[in-house]
A and B are shown apart, each in its own frame.
Chain A
Amino acid sequence: MDDEAELVPRARAGDADAFARLVAGTRDVALRVAYAIAGDDAEDVTQDAFVKAFTRLHQFRDDAAFRPWMLAIVANEARNRRRGTGRRAAVALRAAGQREVPGLHTDPAATAALTDARDRLARAVGALPLRDRQVIALRYFADLSEAETAAALGCAPGTVKSRLHRALARLRAELGEEAEP
């Protein structure tokens, strides 16, 4: 959001309206991360994470970026929720179908094939262990850089690299795709 620099100090001073405007901008991406880690608990997880972030804004450094900081809280909340329910294993992930756009020339068969491929990939990600889903959600679904992902996970950038490498290898196996020699 353009006025993030203005909204953060106001939110930190206790301005709940400024904070609501801040989180409105990260709503979709936060739901995406929560969904990849905690499946259908995504909405509750995201709501709890946003409220926690408000109480922890005094820990947010001015020179940091708000989005990775917020998503780190979302990812942690999602992971803890998943662990708390004793369900550390797979979640059922799905991809939404492409909506028809009247007046635009889309090929229904091509659109359906694209949706099927996305859905297959979503299911394969859902079958991965919790740790793999967490790093994939932050790096790819939230489109954070490796450095931002490392900051969100509280580890070194090199660790993100190796965790991603292992996660993608398991994903490839799940999809039945072999890596090139």
Chain B
Amino acid sequence: MTSTDPDDLAARLTDLGPHLDHPPAVTLVTDVRARLDQAPARRRRWRLLLAAVLAAAAGLAATPPVRSAVASRLGIGAVRIDPVDRLPSTGTTIDPVAPARGAVSFPVRLADPALAGPVRAVATDPAVPGGLVAITYERFTLTEIAASAGQRPVIAKLVGPDTAIEYLTVRGQEAVWLSGAPHAWSYLDPDGNLRTEPFRQAGDVLLWVDGNVTFRIEGLHGPDGRAVALALAESLR
């Protein structure tokens, strides 16, 4: 007889929720994303768009003065706008990550753009042996550091009692999620001593190692930060 208080049983059920041993479902969001391209919502959108275009065309055909007014606006200032059925080849697009690829000793990996959105900025730190690249997206920063699990650490994170440490897995590799109160971090010198420069502060962060690279996703806060960080981590390619 553990307890007979109904409120206590409710509290025990609430406590049980996060500890239920459900399937890990690591590729769930990526799998769903892949299926959405075949889902009806997108086709419906195109149908609506087609209907709107047809309605507009009917309206234009019925009123010639309007059509000529619109036609004369196909072009603005020094730019002429030519409607065509098929676009010509536009050559290669600029890859913002290209300079960083040459600055580090490992293949730079990117989060799935479907989840992460476009890359906003890329920075490298040549002071780190093997290289460090930080890729900033709209909502978070993905940092990749040349250092495997067995090697000497290059960064120390100082974690106070109000920061929670959770051990998780990313692609079957051990991962750590630091959350709650911000923690402090600094670089370590080759002898393992903390550099004397001021400490930097960091918020919720997911850390994991894959091959010879340590990965860090930072900047996702709030109750869903951990789930979003894990989904992004799984999406790296």
- Chain A interface residues toward B at CB < 8 A: 1-2, 12-14, 16-17, 19-21, 23-28, 31-32, 34-36, 40, 42-43, 46-47, 50-51, 54-55, 57-58, 93-96, 98-101, 103-104, 115, 117-118, 121-122, 125, 136, 140-143, 168, 171-172, 175-180
Contact = CB atoms under 8 A, between A and B. Distances in A.
A27 B13 contact: no
B16 A51 contact: no
Interface string B76-88: 0000000000000
A12 B6 CA distance: 41
A94 B224 CA distance: 24
Interface string B37-56: 10111101100000000000
A20 B29 contact: yes
A93 B32 CA distance: 25
Contacts of B115: 17, 20-21, 24
Contacts, number: 160
B9 A168 contact: yes
Contacts of A27: 25, 28-29, 227, 231
Q: Which of A96, A100, A115 has the most CB of B within 10 A?
A: A96
B37 A16 contact: yes
Given A27-B227, A141-B16, A42 B2 contact: no
B12 interface: yes
Given A17-B113, A140-B16, 16 more contacts: A16-B39, A16-B114, A17-B33, A20-B33, A20-B36, A21-B115, A23-B32, A24-B231, A58-B41, A95-B21, A121-B13, A122-B16, A140-B17, A141-B20, A172-B9, A179-B4
Interface in B5-24: 5-6, 9-10, 12-23
B1 interface: yes
Interface of B: 1-6, 9-10, 12-23, 25, 28-29, 31-33, 35-37, 39-42, 44-45, 113-115, 117, 165-167, 221-222, 224, 227-228, 231-232
A181 B168 CA distance: 44
B4 A140 contact: no
Contact of B20 (A16, A17, A93): A93
Given A25-B228, A51-B39, A16 B33 contact: yes
B29 A96 contact: no
Nearest to B45: A14
Nearest to A57: B41
Contacts of B166: 99, 101
B36 A54 contact: yes
A24 B224 contact: yes
Closest 5 CB pairs of A and B: A14-B45, A35-B22, A25-B224, A140-B13, A16-B36
B21 A23 contact: no
Contact of A31 (B3, B12, B28, B35): B28
B169 to A, nearest CB: 10
Contacts of B165: 101, 103-104
B2 to A, nearest CB: 6
Contacts of B39: 16, 51, 54-55
Nearest to A92: B21
B21 A99 contact: no
15 contacts: A16-B114, A17-B117, A20-B36, A23-B29, A24-B224, A42-B23, A47-B32, A51-B32, A54-B41, A95-B16, A100-B167, A121-B13, A168-B6, A168-B9, A180-B5
